[in-house]
Amino acid sequence: MDIYEKINETARIIQSYISEHTPEFAIILGSGLSRLENEVEVISEIKYSNIPNFPKSTVSGHKGKLIYGKIEGRYVLMMAGRAHYYEGYSMQEVTFPIRIFKQLGINRLIVSNASGGVNPNFEIGDVMIIRDHINMFPEHPLRGKNLDQFGTRFPDMSKPYSSAMITELENIAKENNIKVQKGVYVGLQGPSFETPAEYGMVRILGGDAVGMSTVPEVIVARHQNMEVCALSVITDLGGPEIAPNVSHEEVLNAANKAMPNVILLVKNLIKRYR
């Protein structure tokens, strides 16, 4: 099967679950947003294991199902759990769900993740609106034959994150007294956390936070001209003079603490954004 046939096969199956109304937003629930799942009025759910061609997340704290439903009266399709490059998936597999979103007619994407902060003004538990990213993954998600039906060979990346969505998120934060940071997310392959020197490198490169996801998904979403915004929960801090002893559990704990704020931001964005 070629890639278009795979996309068609998978989209056709998901389409039968979401026939009530085309979702207005696709949402990827990373470690910083997993409990948004509890806020959705569920219409249907599909396990990744029942979706042909879909990657299956293997990381604890990450589930594996698509949830279709309503938040604030608006239709959404949520990925509870995502595939990461470090799990061994190819970039095509990691970003396959993003192709499906477009094929289903969804034009907006909200992404969330947990990351390590390298900006000295950041604190653990801060929520960062990603305003730009630096792609440091060893493989580009658009490498290989271009999918001309989705986008051009050399896609523009001058506006990766929607300034209108960012403004709306900042307004919501201000109105609700939620502190938000805004910054650049650097995507590295992982799965080891960074050494002190690597945190230092991320800072020198122009990054405010570093993580192991999001960048491939956003690149593919922009290739096909989806409108994108992304939120990152700062779960630990690193730098050349700080040697954090990070563990997956600590990341999840810090993400859980910040999650109510992330949920408030995302719910209000869905409610208000036209």
State which of residues 44, 56, 182, 190 lies at the interface with ligand HPA (CB under 6 A).
190
Nearest to ligand HPA of 117, 141 (CB atom): 117
What span, in angstroms and rounded, lies between the C-alpha atoms of 96 and 174? 35
Please state the closest distance from residue 236 (CB atom) to ligand HPA, in A. 5
Q: CB of 128 within 8 A of CB of 115?
A: yes
State which of residues 210, 229, 262, 263 lies at the interface with ligand HPA (CB under 6 A).
210
Distances (CA, A) of 1 to 4, 182, 188: 8, 42, 31
What span, in angstroms and rounded, lies between the C-alpha atoms of 76 and 65? 14
Nearest to ligand HPA of 73, 138 (CB atom): 138
* Positive or negative: CA dihedral 213, 141, 65, 172: positive
Nearest to ligand HPA of 37, 236 (CB atom): 236
Single out the residue of 247, 221, 240 nearest to residue 114, CA to CA.
Answer: 247
Please state the closest distance from residue 129 (CB atom) to ligand HPA, in A. 17
45-84: which residues touch ligand HPA (CB under 6 A)?
none
207 binds ligand HPA, rule: CB under 6 A:
no
212 binds ligand HPA, rule: CB under 6 A:
yes
Nearest to ligand HPA of 115, 181 (CB atom): 115
How many residues bind to ligand HPA according to rule CB under 6 A? 13
State which of residues 115, 162, 181, 256 lies at the interface with ligand HPA (CB under 6 A).
115
Single out the residue of 102, 90, 189 nearest to residue 144, CA to CA.
Answer: 90
Pairing of strands 74-80, 65-71: antiparallel
Specify the 3-state DSSP secondary structure of 185. strand
Pairing of strands 227-237, 127-135: antiparallel
Please state the closest distance from residue 128 (CB atom) to ligand HPA, in A. 12
201 binds ligand HPA, rule: CB under 6 A:
no
Please state the closest distance from residue 59 (CB atom) to ligand HPA, in A. 11
State which of residues 36, 106, 111, 114 lies at the interface with ligand HPA (CB under 6 A).
114
Q: Which residues pair with 28 in a beta bridge?
A: 79, 111
Nearest to ligand HPA of 52, 206 (CB atom): 206
Please state the closest distance from residue 210 (CB atom) to ligand HPA, in A. 5
Determine whether 73 is exposed, middle or buried from the number of CB atoms within 10 Å of its CB (0-12, 13-18, 19+): exposed
The binding site for ligand HPA (CB under 6 A) comprises: 114-116, 190, 193-194, 210-212, 235-236, 246, 251
